[in-house]
Amino acid sequence: MNEKGKADMRYSPDADALIVRFSRKPVDHAEEAGDFIVHLAEDGEVVLIEILHAQEFLLEALQRVLQGQGQRAAQAKAKTKTETETPV
């Protein structure tokens, strides 16, 4: 965590891992779920998260976001077209 209280992120190209730090508390233990490793403090607070295979994860996430934007734009266009059409 930086001095402004925001999360710090860094990328490790050797491990292809994105590390997001939320707290400076010491890590007590970690739990793994697929490509995510969550490091927790003794009180259960999330200290940091590691995202393994980060490039693949981020590219897939970005692709889903862009596809969603395209779908919403197409729906808005179709709605506008329907609203402006006059019955014959």
pLDDT digits (tens, 9 = 90+) for 23-32: 999 999 999 9
Domain hosting residue 59, numbered range: 8-82
pTM over 0.75: no
What does the alpha-carbon distance between residue 61 and residue 28 come to, in Å, rounded to a whole number?
30
Percent of the chain with pLDDT over 90: 66
Q: In the chain, how many domains are there?
A: 1
Q: Which residue has the tokens 């707290």?
A: 23
Residue 33: the pLDDT is 95
Q: Is residue 50 part of a domain?
A: yes
Nearest to 53 by CA among 20, 12, 8: 12
The predicted pLDDT at position 74 comes to 72
Q: pLDDT digit string (tens) for 6-53? A: 899 999 999 999 999 999 999 999 999 999 999 999 999 999 999 999
Domain-embedded: residue 88 = no
Q: Is position 2 within any domain?
A: no
Asked if residue 72 is part of any domain, the answer here is yes
